[in-house]
Each structure stands twice: as structure tokens, then as C-alpha cells.
Amino acid sequence: MNAILPAASPRTLHRVPVRVLMVDDSAVSRSVIGRIIDDAADVNLVSRVSSPDEAFAFLAEQRVDIILLDHEMPGRKGLDALPALLDAAHDAHVIMLSSHCQRGSKTAVAALSIGASDALAKPSAMDSGPEFAEQLLSRIRRLASARCQNSAEADRLILRPFPEGFAVHCIGIGASTGGIHALAELLSAVSARPGSPVLITQHLPAAFISHYAKQVARMTDMPVSIARDGEVLRDDHVYIAPGEASLSCIRDGAKVRARLIAERDMLSSARPSVNPMFAGMAQSYGAGSLGIILTGIGRDGTAGASAVVKAGGAVIVQDETSSTVWGMPGSAARAGLVSACLAPHEMPHYLRAHFGLG
């Protein structure tokens, strides 16, 4: 009999302007960002503070939707303050807005791994033009919109039973916004190697992937590499999708090889995309496929999850409460494709208890 997943408690929809807090010691930066946001009727910069301590004091009395956080500040740097800031801000999204967040930088990837929802570089000397303003407002609106979508869930969601005799031969993990932090929580709870290849698709630009791979390597004792087209997939090895192609796989006799797909996924428009990864797993490993969908904006992974389920495999997703954005996991759950809905740190224990995995 199918299990029933109770609906999460509703959240307040954004019928008022998005509330933004800016934390930056530069008066010039605060002024420039202030002018950008003042020109947007749907975004309200409720406070501009110059240090994390001032931010904590503000958040003790006020709620915000988005925090713009600089890194280089006197005393406590932004990255150092980020974990405590996320706790103090409850479910607010943090955008790391710093000159140290150039495309692909270590600081940007570190911020995302700690829990920031996005990272954006400030223009040099804050000589910002229309392009930067458009990028900043677009990211603020996208994150705020995703929070609204999270709250509009159906009253009850159906969980599929796991296939009888389910045994894992390949694991695929897909994620987007908030996914680096979620993956760290998942891998930190793994107590044993799974005995299968682990494929990871994280929505990131190509410039970020090398730093991301190094971050993942610090999360696990398994070998980690960026996937190469045609290489044989080995058990207990982590393969990461490169930023310029989706990672899939194809069976070659008794072996399974990595397959890189340069084209954007037609359904999600993403590259790399979770859909071809799951579809390749379904074709290559069939009923031995386990798909895991972590936090992320959009629907990428749902079509691929359907392929996994049709092949006799199983899909689990991150729950709404622990997700930065319950878009990708929520989409698969609403489609009736999910057999468990858990916080990332609970997944290894659950799989170990039920299937002797992880």
C-alpha cells in the first residue's frame, strides 16, 4: 500500500515587495546597490548594515527574504559569518555578493557549499551598468519566486513503495540551488562505500566545476573525478558532470561507460542536466538504478526519474523542510515518482537500514 506524505505547513506568499538586507562595509557598494533596488518596485532594501554583528542585531527583530552578503569585511569575514547568519535568518536566501566571487572562484564555491543560494561578483570599483543591475534583480526575484512556489503544494503527496528486492548498482545525485551544501550533508553521513558508481549532476557553470570537484573530494573518501566521455564507470568512484555537458552512461557489454552530451536538455534547458543522467542509468543499470534529487529550482530530474521508475529502479528526494528550494524534488514528488522524502543527512541511514547501503 502506498505511503502518504503529509503536506508541509504553508508559508506566506510574496504579495508584498521582496525584503532584502545588505551586509557590506563599503559605503560605495551600499549606495550603488541601494539605487539599483530603489528602482525596482517589487524589491525593498529594508536595511543596509556594515558588519555581520549589525546584521545579527537586525535579524533578531526583523525577517527578510534575501540577504546580500559581502566577504571582505573588517573583523568577521562574510564566509566565516555565513553559517550563523543562515541560522539567524531562518529560511532567508543568502546571495554572496563580493568581488571575490568571480566566475568559478574558490570563494563562490565555498559560499555555495556552506549554504549560500547564489554567488555574484560585484563589478570592479562598483562601476555597475545595466547588465549587473539586471543580473542582481533577476537572481533576487528568482529566489523569492521559488520560495512562493514551495508554499503552493498539494495537500497530500503519494510515496511509491520501493521495488521488491531492490538492490542498488548505480547511484545518481542531481541538484541545483542549495545542492552543494545538501550534498555535503548527505556524504558526511555515509559510513561505508556503496559498492556502485556514484554520478553527480550539479547545476553549475563550467568555470566552477574544477573547484566543485575539489570540494566534493573533501566530502568523501571515495575517488572523485570530472567525468570523461567513454571512460568505464567503476564502483565506489564519484563522477561529476562537467559544466559544458550532461553526464549520462551507456552499456558496453559487461561494462558501462560514461557518455557526455553537449546539447542542452530539451525538457529542462539545463546543461548539465539531471534528466539524461537518470535516463542513461535506467538504460544501463535498469532495476539497479537509484536516483536522488536534492534541492533546486525548476523541474530538472522529473523526466529522468520517470525513466528510472519505469526501468524498475527507485527515486528518493530531499524533503521540503531541509531544501533551499523544493522545486526539483517537489516536482518529482508531485509526479508520484518518489519512494522516500528525507533530509540529506537522513538518506544514508535510511538506505543502510532498508537495503544495507551506505
The three cell numbers of residue 166 are 531492490
Average pLDDT, rounded, for the chain: 90
Residues 145, 160 within the same domain: no
Residues 83, 231 within the same domain: no
| b (16+ CB within 10 A) / e for 55-87 | bbebbeeeebbbbbbbbebeeebbbebbeebbe
**This prediction's pTM:** 0.85
Q: Which domain range does residue 172 map to?
A: 156-355
Whether 118 is a known active-site residue: answer: no
- Window from 27-36, 166-175, 256-265 with minimum mean pLDDT: 27-36
**Would residue 136 be called left, alpha or beta, if left means φ above 0 and alpha means ψ between -120 and 50 degrees?**
alpha
List the CATH number of the domain containing 223: 3.40.50.180
Is the confidence at residue 15, as pLDDT, over 90?
no
List the CATH number of the domain containing 137: 3.40.50.2300
More confident residue, 90 or 344: 344
Q: Which of 50, 176, 196, 289 is catalytic?
A: 176
- Window from 3-7, 42-46, 64-68 with minimum mean pLDDT: 3-7
Is the confidence at residue 155, as pLDDT, over 70?
no
Residues 230, 323 within the same domain: yes
Q: Which of 203, 248, 284, 306 is catalytic?
A: 203
| b (16+ CB within 10 A) / e for 171-187 | bbbbbbbbbbbbbbbbb
Q: Which of 100, 300, 323, 339 is catalytic?
A: 300
Whether 203 is a known active-site residue: answer: yes
Is the confidence at residue 173, as pLDDT, over 90?
yes
Residues 105, 193 within the same domain: no
Is the confidence at residue 13, as pLDDT, over 50?
no
Is the confidence at residue 11, as pLDDT, over 80?
no
Is the confidence at residue 115, as pLDDT, over 70?
yes
Residues 222, 106 within the same domain: no
- Does some domain include residue 9? no
